[in-house]
Amino acid sequence: MYYNEEFETLPRPALEALQLKRLRSMLERVYANVPFYRDSLNTAGITPDKIKSLDDLQRLPFTTKQNMRDSYPYGLFAAPMEEIVRIHASSGTTGKPTVVGYTHKDIEIWSELMARSFVSAGAHKGDIIHNAYGYGLFTGGLGAHYGAEKLGASVIPISGGNTKRQIMIMQDFGSTVLTCTPSYSLFMAEEAKAEGVDFKKLKLRVGIFGAEPWSEAMRCEIEEKLGLTAIDIYGLSEIMGPGVAIECIEAKRGLHIWEDHFIPEIINPETGQRVAEGERGELVITTITKQGIPLVRYRTRDITSITYEPCICGRTHARITRMSGRSDDMLIIRGVNVFPSQIESILVGIEGVEPHYLLVVDRNENLDTLEVQVEVNELLFSDEVKVLQRLAKRIEKEIKDMLGVTCSAKLVEPKTIQRSEGKARRVIDNRKL
Ligand code: DLL
């Protein structure tokens, strides 16, 4: 099932021809309208007319989050303010947010790409979409909302928070699709259980989860606890919002990135050079149809790999693998690179352990230390101390064996690690203080 069969299944030569055409016209537009790009292209000694092939994209300079911050709030906009109909922003960890603007056409395209994403996840007209992504400056709520309406589904704009009420509404309104962060979905399941509601008896068929890294093991856990098919959706506000890439329900192997609107590249974050197909690296995206704030070779900091192999669903758009995290979230602990999602995979695979965890990194006499705080289930928590000690040892050993890092596992009482209604906080790195 497709939303826009023609474009979703465009043969690659036609898709690439379209990309080149759109790339060139986008470059002409930013060169004419955005001083930052005119300067950076001039410095690189390249003008839009010199771009003759998709390979030439590599000759263009990257754009970074810092560039966006430096031109706060509207400096990178390529359309006049009279044409901007919506403004979003991402919160970021420090200082000012990153601001993005959309023209009518941008909103139309975003809605279509979200509608495509819904269909790719197995949703359709007639579905009741319970949209628990936050509404506001965050792109999750409104992005999914407009896509759901475009699709012709019924959308419940519940936003995040007030979990008990969410559960009542899902039950009473007969929601069939759930959209929220993966961590919030688990929180909902937990609350439902406490309320005596069996999540599996709800009408939910599909969950479309994203906005934060999660692991394959977490997917199994969610599918098990919520009784639905869990689909991974990716996006970032700088590029558009949710719906830049999504898994297809047919394969659930990699996220199709909508290549008629975005050109993806995977680079080595150190050298900036492209890596081979299938190799991990940082995702760089060039938007080729955006009007409000087009971005040339934007460094997402997200780590993934790409494949152009055909997919059983028939879509011809390349697939990126599940994000292992952001390069700036990668922890280097005594020289070993560790992504929180790797630890998550290990924890979720251990019986008695709940998928709620926090990694606390510190530096003690020049040595990095990692404490893995993880909740155990009620049953186990009331067990003998010896049993708990054995479990802690097992977690420490598995993490050491699989990732090569020494840690101490701290088992904590059920429901003590802070829950999130949006993006979960998984790491506290005290070394930076
Ligand atoms: O999180 C947009 C979004 C909303 C995506 C709803 C999916 C669903 P930002 O707040 O700008 O936008 O954060 C973007 O979140 O660079 C990734 O690091 C991370 N991220 C988003 N989706 C995924 C995912 C929205 N599926 C940042 N897996 C991105 C891993 C993700 N990380």
Residue 266 CB-density burial (10 A; 0-12 exposed, 13-18 middle, 19+ buried): buried
- Please tell me the distance from the alpha carbon of residue 409 to that of residue 397, in angstroms, as a whole number: 10
Would residue 58 count as lying in a domain?
no
- Please tell me the distance from the alpha carbon of residue 36 to that of residue 71, in angstroms, as a whole number: 9
CATH number of the CATH domain containing 385: 3.30.300.30
Centre of ligand 1 to C-alpha 358, Å, is 19
| Same domain for 192 and 86 | yes
HSE toward the beta carbon, residue 355, CA cutoff 13 A: 29
| Same domain for 390 and 324 | no
Residue where one domain finishes, among candidates 269, 294, 328: 328
Q: What per-residue confidence (pLDDT) applies to 335?
A: 78
Residue 285 CB-density burial (10 A; 0-12 exposed, 13-18 middle, 19+ buried): buried
Q: What per-residue confidence (pLDDT) applies to 331?
A: 85
Distant-in-sequence, close-in-space partners of 248: CB < 8 Å, separation ≥ 6: 120, 121, 256, 311, 313, 315
Would residue 344 count as lying in a domain?
yes
| Same domain for 395 and 309 | no
Q: What's the total number of domains in the chain?
A: 2
Q: Which residue, judged by its Cα, is nearest atom 1 of ligand 1?
A: 211
Q: Please say whether the beta carbons of 104 and 84 come within 8 A.
A: no
- Please tell me the distance from the alpha carbon of residue 208 to that of residue 256, in angstroms, as a whole number: 14
The answer, yes or no, to whether residue 95 has pLDDT greater than 80, is no
| Same domain for 410 and 343 | yes
What confidence tier does 337 reach under pLDDT thresholds 50, 70, 90? confident
Q: What per-residue confidence (pLDDT) applies to 339?
A: 87
| Same domain for 425 and 319 | no
Q: For the segment 382-403, what is each residue's pLDDT rounded down to a tens digit?
A: 878 899 999 999 999 999 999 8
What confidence tier does 433 reach under pLDDT thresholds 50, 70, 90? low
| Same domain for 298 and 180 | yes
| Same domain for 217 and 300 | yes
Mean pLDDT computed over 398-414? 93
Q: What per-residue confidence (pLDDT) applies to 336?
A: 83
- Please tell me the distance from the alpha carbon of residue 118 to that of residue 147, in angstroms, as a whole number: 8
381-387 long-range Cβ contacts below 8 angstroms, 24+ apart: 381/411, 381/413, 381/414
The answer, yes or no, to whether residue 93 has pLDDT greater than 80, is no
Q: For the segment 235-284, what is each residue's pLDDT rounded down to a tens digit?
A: 999 999 999 999 999 999 999 999 999 999 999 999 999 999 999 999 99
Q: What per-residue confidence (pLDDT) applies to 383?
A: 79
Residue where one domain finishes, among candidates 312, 328, 344: 328
Q: Please say whether the beta carbons of 316 and 8 come within 8 A.
A: yes
What confidence tier does 379 reach under pLDDT thresholds 50, 70, 90? confident
Least Cα distance to 106 among 286, 292, 297 occurs for 292
Would residue 47 count as lying in a domain?
no
Least Cα distance to 255 among 117, 122, 129, 114 occurs for 117
Centre of ligand 1 to C-alpha 44, Å, is 31
Q: For the segment 178-226, what is each residue's pLDDT rounded down to a tens digit?
A: 999 999 999 999 999 999 999 999 999 999 999 998 999 999 999 999 9
Would residue 5 count as lying in a domain?
no
Return the minimum-mean-pLDDT range out of 86-95, 157-166, 309-318: 86-95
DSSP letters for 176-187: -EEEE-HHHHHH
Please give the number of the atom of ligand 1 that sits closest to the Cα of 241: 2
Q: For the segment 110-131, what is each residue's pLDDT rounded down to a tens digit?
A: 999 999 999 999 999 999 999 9
| Same domain for 358 and 324 | no
Would residue 415 count as lying in a domain?
yes
Centre of ligand 1 to C-alpha 123, Å, is 20
Substitution site in 110, 236, 299, 426 for ligand 1 pocket (most atoms within 8 Å of beta carbon): 236
Tokens of 106: 């941008």
Please give the number of the atom of ligand 1 that sits closest to the Cα of 91: 10
| Same domain for 196 and 307 | yes
Would residue 22 count as lying in a domain?
no
Q: What per-residue confidence (pLDDT) applies to 332?
A: 83
CATH number of the CATH domain containing 275: 3.40.50.12780
Q: Which domain holds residue 391?
A: 336-429
The answer, yes or no, to whether residue 92 has pLDDT greater than 70, is no
Alpha helices in 203-348, H assignment, sequence order? 216-226, 340-348
What confidence tier does 432 reach under pLDDT thresholds 50, 70, 90? low
> Tokens 């970074």 map to which residue?
64
Residue % of the chain over a pLDDT of 70: 99
- Please tell me the distance from the alpha carbon of residue 312 to that of residue 329, in angstroms, as a whole number: 33
Ligand 1 is surrounded, with C-beta below 6 A, by 90, 133, 138-140, 210-213, 232-237, 241-242, 300, 302, 323, 326
The answer, yes or no, to whether residue 296 has pLDDT greater than 80, is yes
Would residue 112 count as lying in a domain?
yes
DSSP letters for 135-177: PSSSHHHHHHHHHHHHHT-EEE---S--HHHHHHHHHHHT--E
Q: For the segment 49-63, what is each residue's pLDDT rounded down to a tens digit?
A: 999 999 999 999 999
| Same domain for 242 and 366 | no
Q: For the segment 22-51, what is each residue's pLDDT rounded down to a tens digit?
A: 999 999 999 999 999 999 999 999 999 999
Mean pLDDT of the chain: 94
Calculated CA dihedral for residues 40, 43, 45, 46, nearest 10 degrees:
10
Would residue 109 count as lying in a domain?
yes
| Same domain for 309 and 406 | no
| Same domain for 359 and 277 | no
Centre of ligand 1 to C-alpha 210, Å, is 6
Tokens of 75: 């400096």
Q: What per-residue confidence (pLDDT) applies to 271?
A: 96
Distant-in-sequence, close-in-space partners of 365: CB < 8 Å, separation ≥ 6: none
Residue where one domain finishes, among candidates 286, 308, 328: 328
